[in-house]
Structure formats: structure tokens, C-alpha cells
Amino acid sequence: MLRIFFFLLLVLLLGFGFSWFADRPGDVALQWQGNQYETSLMVVLVALVALVAAIMILWWLANTILDSPRIMQRFFKARKQDRGYKALSRGLIAANSGDAVGARKFTKESVKLLGHEPLVDLLDAQSCLLEGNRDEARKRFETMLEDDETRLVALRGLYVEAERQGAGEAARHYAQEANKEAPSLAWAGNAKLRFASMDGDWEAALATLEANKSAGLIDKDAAKRQRAVLLTAQAMSEEPADPVKAAKLAKEAHKLAPDLVPAAIIGAKALARNSDIGRASGMLEAVWKKEPHPELAQAYIHIRMGDSAADRLKRAKKLAAMKANHPEGNFIIAEAAIDVQDWKLARETMVPVLNTAPTERACLIMADIEEGQSGDQGRMRDWLSRAVRAPKDAAWTADGHVSENWLPISPISGKLDAFEWKRPVEQLGGPQVAVLDSDGLDDLISEPKKAPVKAKAPKSIEREPDAKPVGAGAKGFAASAPNTSDKAPQIETVETPEKSAPVDENEDVEEIDEKIAEAAVIEAENVVVGDKPATEDKTVTEEVASEEKPEPSVAEKPKAKQSSSNVTEKGHQKKEDLFPLDRRPDDPGVRDGDGPKKPKRFGLF
């Protein structure tokens, strides 16, 4: 634009000059070698301007002819560079799109046209990475370290390769070198912070965090959160040896991130060691009011050493009242009630949780209640089977890794503040976890009823259709079955009492059991086979068990030869059938008293 302005200004001056001379005409006389030439002033001026223009044109032509070789060389060189940069552009696009063949093709063309330019070397290294030739790529990056223009790119590439191969020391070296040359590089600053955190050098990590904040690599809120995490980690490491310093660090972390549960827990622990129970409880209560957490509850009820189980139950009730109707409050009250063996309170506290969303922890607590209160192995195992299928409880999770305790960095990726309190991701391809079925849930929640000790009547014995008893006035039963085989036993006539003697409930339990067993044996011996041979399958449905059972009678011996059918002629299901159709799917099939006695507190585990 400025050149156009000066050109127009020059044309304007020339026009003004010619008009000025035109308004003032005159003659010019030239005498040369005895000859005199006369003409007007305007002709002379025009001739001078034309002469100057001609001289300039001739000079330009002469220079063009003389410089034509250089001009042609420059032309072809520019054309070659244009082709090379075009190929380089296509190669970078192919490399970033994952086209290894195209990237290699355009790399060769770029090297041929441009030589070893910085971008060409970068494209060559990227092509080697796409082809899987990582050793060659590393050599390319090492060559690029010698050039100041590509040094940072080479450090980045070498860092990534060292991380991929698990060479931590090499990756640390490249990150530190890049951070020294360019503190504004985000990847270098974050890598340096991560390595300091992995080493447990919290002072160096805090200094690196401040440097990253000053360089603008992290915003203010994120810097506050990361500083709180680092201070919490430092407090955890200092607490065993210096609780005073740990308490100071934890309080600063709690101010920066009031919702950080581990900061409140370690701060309360350090304050409790300094005999400052009030401030320790206040710190835990403040976080609990924001978001209840099971670790907060455990730290709160155990904050004072030497408390009895009843004192812990009182503290649990007080903490739960600060966040009413929250499941974590119910859990902590139930667990504290189990410690004092207040089974009624523990059961009543768990009812709201079980009616809404019973998780694995809720089912395990109910199993603990059943085992501790009544020792009912069947109900306990029913709750354990429900716990297997129940939704998982929340846990500290980072990058798919579940940890029992909070950690400042992820053990998988090394990321700072990666752990979150959430439900773990279910295993891919595993069983679908659904809400527990409510079949029989009300009966399991309710407190088991204890029946009074009383005499049990002997089990009823099914008679065969052909069994013919003698009249009621007779003193016994007569055997009416013909003895068609030598193997058929002779049926003895046994005198039957008209009525069993009444059993006094105050009698000793062992005497009652003996009487019941004797009555059952007498009842079993009174069975008459009937008209059919005794060798056929004619048995009772259930066998009366007794420790002092006498030798089996004649009527009981055919039972060993009966069919293996699971159902009797009257359709009653036998005791040997271990999988009845009317049993619930979640019933483990084990009843109280079956099998050897196992120790309490989840003997299955």
C-alpha cells in the first residue's frame, strides 16, 4: 500500500512539472560542431525522460541476461522445495492418521526433496514408530537432540518411549531436562510432579506444584486440591513420629479441601494423640455433615482409646443423629450394637437399609447378627449367599484398581489424586448384579422366635393300603400276610398300649427323648405287612433316628431293599431328596445342626 502511494505521488509530481513547463514555453538551442539545433523546451524534456527510461530498460535486460543461470537455479530450487513441503505435509497427515505405508512413502520423498530438515526427521521418527521399529525411532530422536530446534521434540519422544518400556530413570531424566529448558511445558512439569510423588518426596512435590502453578500449567482450584492431597500424604508419613507436625499439615489440607476424607481422618488421629479430643471430633463431624463415610465413622467411635463397647455405641448414635436416615449411620450403629450384643437394636437398625437397597456389607452384618444372637447356621448361610449376589459397596478406586486404604497417587498410572470413593466397576462378562430378591426377606429380617421346650409327638408312620389292624378291643395285631417265601420273616404279635402316657414338661430333656424314642420303636413294630409278600417295597416314609436305637425289627428290614425312587406311593417326598422343588433358589440346603460344628464369626471363611 505504501509503494502504491509513492508511485502515485511520483506520477503527480511529473504531471505537475510538465504542466508548469507547458505554461512557460521557450526554445532550446544547441550548437555542436558548427551546427546549431533549435527546438522547444517541451520536446527536450520529453526526449530526456524517454532517454532515461530506455537506459533503465536496457540495464534491466542486461542484468536479466547475465543473472539468468542463477535465476533459473533459484526457480527450480523453489519448485523442488514446494514439492518437498507438499510431500512433508501429506506425510505428517498420514502419520497422524495411522497410515504407516503412506507415512513412509512421503518420508522418502521428503528426504529426497528437502534433505534432513527438522520436520523431515520428525516425520521419519514417527514413521518408524508406526512401523514398530522403536529402536530406529529412538536413534532418530537422539540425533534430533543435537539440533536446538528439535531438542524439545526429541526429549518428548524419548520420554514417551522410556515410559512405554518401563524405564523410569530414563523417563525421569528426559522430563527434568525438558523442564529445565522450558518450564512452561505442561508434560514435563506434570511428569516431574508425578515422579516426586512416587518417590514420597513430598517437599519436592510441593515445590514442583508451586512452580507449575507459577508457570500457568494448572489452574487455581486444581492447584489447591493437589496441594491438599500432598499435605495429607505428608501428614500420613509424619504422624507416627511427629503427631504435632502431622496435625498442622492435616489442618492446612482440611482448609484447602474440606471434603477430603483422608485429611480429616489423619488430622483427627494426630490431634487425638495430642490429647485434643474435642478438635479431633469437630474435624470429623464437619466432614461427616457434608458426606458421611464409613472410615469417618470408624475414626469417630474409636477416637478415644480405652472406651468400652457401650461408650462406642453412644458415640455412634450421636454421629448418626447428625445425618439422620443415612445408611452409613445405620451401619455404624448396627456394628456398635453387635459389639455390645444388643441384637434387638442391631436388627431394628438394619431394617430400613435392607428394605431399600441391601448391599454386600448389609448382608454380612445380618449374617453376623444371626450367628451371634441365635447361632442359626441356616439363616446365617442364607445371608451369606445373599451377600455373594448383592451389589458391591463403595471402595477407594483408581484406574480400575481397588484399594483398602486411600493413597495419594494411583499405583497404576501414578496420577495424583486419582482415588475416588465409588462402587468398583463390575467384571466384564461376569454375572449381572441385580437387586436382591425379596423372597423370604421379611422372615429373615424378623427376630427368630424361640419355641418352648416340650415333648414331641412321634412322627406319623404311613401304613400300606393292605395293612389290616385287628379290632380296637383286641390286645394286639395279628399277622395276616401269608408266608409264601422262606425269606419272609415271621411277624410277631406285639402288645400296643392303648394310649401314650402324658409327658410332663418339667421332666428332664433326656428322659423325654428316651420316651419318644421308645414310643416310636413300638409304633414301628406294630406295622402289619398285609396280604402281599414281605419282600416287596413296603416301608415307612421316614426313619425314626435315635442314638440308643435297638436292632431293627422285622418290619423295618424290608426298607433296605426298597426302590431308589424319591417319592412314596402316597406322593410324599423322601428325606433323601436333597433338591426339593419347593425350596427357594437362595436356600443353601443346610439346616441347623447338620454337619460338624464350626467356629463362629463366619467359619466358612
Highest mean pLDDT among 14-18, 75-79, 423-427: 75-79
Can you tell me the distance from the alpha carbon of 250 to that of 266, in angstroms, rounded to the nearest whole number? 7
Q: Which three cell numbers stand for residue 72?
A: 533459473
Mean pLDDT of 469-495: 38
What is the overall mean pLDDT for the chain? 77
Mean pLDDT of 302-318: 93
Q: With 90 as the cut, is the pLDDT of residue 269 above it? A: yes
Q: Which residues pair with 32 in a beta bridge?
A: 35
Under the banding of pLDDT at 50, 70 and 90, the label for residue 455 is very low
Burial of 560 (0-12, 13-18, 19+ CB in 10 A): exposed
Q: With 80 as the cut, is the pLDDT of residue 321 above it? A: yes
Q: With 90 as the cut, is the pLDDT of residue 196 above it? A: yes
Task: Give the CA count within 13 Å in the CB-facing half-sphere of 88.
Answer: 20
For residue 16, the model assigns a pLDDT of: 82
Under the banding of pLDDT at 50, 70 and 90, the label for residue 565 is very low
Antiparallel, parallel or unpaired: β 401-403 and 35-40: unpaired
Three-class secondary structure of residue 28 per DSSP: strand
Can you tell me the distance from the alpha carbon of 461 to that of 333, in angstroms, rounded to the nearest whole number? 50
- Pick 547 or 163 by higher pLDDT: 163
Residue 32: its H or E element: strand 27-32
Least confident among 26-30, 369-373, 510-514, 567-571: 567-571
The pLDDT tens digits of the residues spanning 89-141 come to 999 899 989 899 999 999 999 988 888 888 898 899 989 999 988 899 999 99
Asked if 371 and 602 count as a contact pair (C-beta separation under 8 A), the reply is: yes
Closest CA relative to residue 234, chosen from 262, 258, 257: 262
Can you tell me the distance from the alpha carbon of 310 to that of 327, in angstroms, rounded to the nearest whole number? 21
The pLDDT tens digits of the residues spanning 377-420 come to 999 999 999 999 899 999 999 998 999 999 999 998 889 999 99
For residue 381, the model assigns a pLDDT of: 93
Mean pLDDT of 224-246: 94
- Pick 114 or 550 by higher pLDDT: 114
For residue 3, the model assigns a pLDDT of: 85
Residue 403: its H or E element: strand 401-403
For residue 520, the model assigns a pLDDT of: 53
Can you tell me the distance from the alpha carbon of 479 to that of 459, in angstroms, rounded to the nearest whole number? 23
Asked if 366 and 334 count as a contact pair (C-beta separation under 8 A), the reply is: no
- Pick 243 or 463 by higher pLDDT: 243
Q: With 90 as the cut, is the pLDDT of residue 564 above it? A: no
Closest CA relative to residue 191, chosen from 202, 205, 201, 181: 205
For residue 589, the model assigns a pLDDT of: 47
Mean pLDDT of 491-509: 42
Asked if 323 and 289 count as a contact pair (C-beta separation under 8 A), the reply is: yes
pTM of the model: 0.62
For residue 17, the model assigns a pLDDT of: 80
Under the banding of pLDDT at 50, 70 and 90, the label for residue 279 is very high
Return all residues near 564 (Cβ < 8 A) that are at least 6 apart: none
For residue 514, the model assigns a pLDDT of: 60
For residue 168, the model assigns a pLDDT of: 87
For residue 118, the model assigns a pLDDT of: 85
Can you tell me the distance from the alpha carbon of 595 to that of 605, in angstroms, rounded to the nearest whole number? 16
Under the banding of pLDDT at 50, 70 and 90, the label for residue 522 is low
Mean pLDDT of 416-440: 66
Highest mean pLDDT among 362-366, 483-487, 553-557: 362-366
For residue 574, the model assigns a pLDDT of: 43
For residue 486, the model assigns a pLDDT of: 41
For residue 585, the model assigns a pLDDT of: 46
Asked if 359 and 392 count as a contact pair (C-beta separation under 8 A), the reply is: yes
Residue 580: its H or E element: none
Least confident among 66-75, 220-229, 380-389, 469-478: 469-478
DSSP string of 133-148, one letter each residue: -HHHHHHHHHHHTTST
